[in-house]
Amino acid sequence: MTDARDLTTALGGRWHRGYGAAPCPVCQPERRKGQNALTLADGRNGRLVLDCKKSACAFLDILAAAGLRSGDYTPPDAAILAQREAEAKAAAQRKAAQAKRLWQEAQPITGTIAETYLRGRGISCDLPPTLRFHGACWHGATARHNPALVAAVQGAGLPAVHRTYLRPDGSGKADLDPAKAMLGATAGGVVRLAEGPARLVVAEGIESGLSLLCGLLDGPATVWAGLSTSGLRGLRLPPQPGRLTVACDGDGPGREAAHALAERAHGLGWQVGILDPGTGADFNDILTGKAVVA
């Protein structure tokens, strides 16, 4: 190993602008898809930074599980860091331009198969202008175009979108892997689904957030979707504290992310509550009656 980027690759993770995300070798040794509890970076003090967001695993334990010792780390020199930073900025700008172009090409959702898809999931509320439809959205893993529900991600700094690939008739998600994907830098951003008084409600997924707007809340609210567990953990809250409800998914990662956001918000002065749909369910399951009551 030479630096954080090399270790990220060795652990089967992904390097982002200035940091890596990978499965923690201590608490996620199976390296399943979506496991990325470990954040890695080259610290400004010349030391390796490791942060396990799932179990707060100890630094030396992480190194040992990765088959390394602290002396194996060599920080990159300034020239390499500067080159990586320039490359990362250029890549971010390219993706932002692609996301902006995709959003401009997309059409309003009304009357499209994207609306058909959402109505088929029992969602009856008004659909926000942050959701659009694209009839030929690029799917990188299969190198082909496919219809998609496109959502604008706001608050992340640069233009970004979230795509849900659909079957041609809108009867469900497309049989693609992945069926959902981001384009652009989404860290800290959300999809804004409704504006309302009194409180902010944050759900993990778009469909869960829309489901809450179909009579599952006890009054009007501003509703956002964080798009993923990492998105839920890291979303940027409004500067003025108020009332926050975190609507989690009913699984371990979803609950952990919701509690992480709740704890952070509470520390910032927010009044916080958590809505839980029950084990194995999300709020679309509640809306459609598919949730299993134990």
Task: Give per-residue pLDDT as tens, 39-83.
Answer: 999 887 788 999 998 888 999 999 999 999 878 888 887 787 788
Percentage of residues in the chain having pLDDT higher than 90:
75
Comparing 75-84, 136-145, 229-238, the range with the smallest average pLDDT is 75-84
| Of the candidates 154, 164, 147, 166, the residue with the CA atom closest to the CA atom of residue 107 | 147
Q: Are strands 200-203 and 222-225 parallel, antiparallel or unpaired?
A: parallel
Q: What is the mean pLDDT of the chain?
A: 92
**Three state DSSP letters for 187-213:** CCCEEEEECCCCCEEEECCHHHHHHHH
Residue 270, SS3 per DSSP: coil
Domains of the chain: residue spans and CATH = 4-76 (no CATH), 97-183 (no CATH), 191-288 (3.40.1360.10)
Q: Which pairs with CB-CB distance under 8 Å and at least 24 residues apart come from 57-66?
A: 57/24, 57/26, 57/27, 61/26, 62/24, 62/25, 62/26, 62/38, 65/24, 65/25, 65/26, 65/29, 66/7, 66/10, 66/11, 66/25
Residue-wise pLDDT for 125-135, tens only, equals 999 999 999 99
In this predicted structure, the answer to whether residue 1 has a pLDDT above a threshold of 80 is: no
pLDDT of residue 17 exceeding 90 = no
